[in-house]
Amino acid sequence: MADDFKQLPSTVKIYETDGLTLDFDANVIRCAPYKGGFGVVLDRTAFFPGGGGQECDTGEIGGVRVSAAESIGDVVVHVAEAAVGVGPCFCRVDAAERMRRMEHHTGEHIFSGTVHRHFGLENVGFHLGSEYVTIDTSGPLTAEQLAEAERLANEAIRKDDPIEILFPTDEELKSIEYRSKKELSGQVRIVKIGETDTCACCAPHLRTTGQVGAITIISAMPYKGGMRLFMLAGNEAIKELRRRQNSLKLCGEMLSAKPNEVPDALARLKEAYEDSLRERTGLIFELCEMKLAAQEARRDFRLLVYEKADAKIANKLGDKYCRDVLFFLAVFGSANALRYVMKSEKLDLASCAPVVNEILKGRGGGKKGEISGSLSVPVCELESCAALIYEKLKQ
């Protein structure tokens, strides 16, 4: 069936020269069963079939839902839910999603062109997802460079430069310096954005940079020797900035601070929290020592069961209290998520772990003097379990 579509005349692609035409009249020249629905071919279309990191459009043809569009050679095939009669019809691309994608894609060109022009880095990867855009750069950017690139990109947006679509001849192309992720053949479509960017691209774009509205970089991370950037543009960027503004306002209200005072207020709160955490840890440690003091006369093992303890406290106590006994066993955590730490100076606990885990109905392991893991026996049975472990290991 795909080969049959290839024999049809090339589709006039409205989206290549005008990304904002979303409602249009066309003639259906072929409709046939295709991919569980019907493949509809028009003489002209504004439906983008996908490519360059941007997904295909959806919409309606003659009132029939179109779930996808794809290129078969120079023909655009629209996947419709029902058959559409051959002849004139009115068509409509889903505007909200198409505009979101064009805002992001045009914004990506502006940002990538800015990074290329000012910092000499290439865009080596681009994906326009449902939540944000990812851009992979060929090298790293400092936080200062990233902030400057964002500032310059938004400055380019405010200039409201025209976005030109060029179809240069092979000879003309030789004199054009443009960005491209791969070697191209045949007719090359160039998207030129003022002095900001010149890039080979097949996707639809807005008419001016001002229509993008704004760009914001959400986050960045090292990736394959470069950076992976997470970006929003257009209405999504504005919504994100509003969310941040509202979050900052809410934080200020909770901290009784003005928005510009929030960082200092948070630093003070963090310092106070860390002080209280250290104090709490110290008190828990003292309580644990009090519990262990009652076992001072024991020469078999020491057992600490205290839900508010943690691995750090257990290890510190274990180093102190395992010297005069065969082993030290600490159990802590909630009833449904109990953990244990076991220490000994007399046993090779790594080799004893299977016995310990069998008795405690747990999982874990470690090294010669220390093992740790999870357990599932009830707290009320821990004393008898520890005694059984002692009997098994003292031999």
Q: Residues 121-144: pLDDT tens digits?
A: 999 999 998 889 999 999 999 999
Inter-residue contact 60 to 34 (CB < 8 Å): no
* Domains of the chain, earliest start first: 2-93 (2.40.30.130), 99-252 (3.30.980.10), 279-393 (3.10.310.40)
- Residues 269-321 pLDDT 10s: 999 999 999 999 999 999 999 999 999 888 999 999 999 999 999 999 999 99
Going by C-beta distance under 8 Å and a sequence separation of 6 or more, which residues neighbour residue 245? none
Mean pLDDT (the chain) is: 94
- Spatial CA neighbour of 38 closest among 91, 82, 98, 102: 82
Q: What is the pLDDT of residue 1?
A: 63
Work out the average pLDDT over 169-184: 87
Euclidean distance between CA atoms 373 and 331, whole angstroms: 10
pLDDT per residue over 214-226, tens digit each? 999 999 999 999 9
- The whole-model pTM stands at 0.76
All residues at 6 or more sequence positions from 308 whose CB lies less than 8 Å from its CB, including other chains:
284, 287, 332
The tokens for 92 are 């409509």
| Contact call for residues 148 and 166 (beta carbons, < 8 A) | no
Query: Percent of the chain scored above 90 by pLDDT?
Result: 89
The pair of structure tokens assigned to 3 is: 């080969």
Residue 336, pLDDT score:
87
- Integer angstrom CA distances of residue 134 from 114, 216, 231, 232, 383: 16, 12, 6, 9, 55
How large is the average pLDDT for residues 24-41? 96
Confidence class for position 182, pLDDT limits 50, 70, 90: confident
Residue with tokens 């504005």: 238
46-71 pLDDT tens trace: 999 998 888 999 999 999 999 999 99
Nearest to 311 by CA among 287, 290, 331, 335: 331
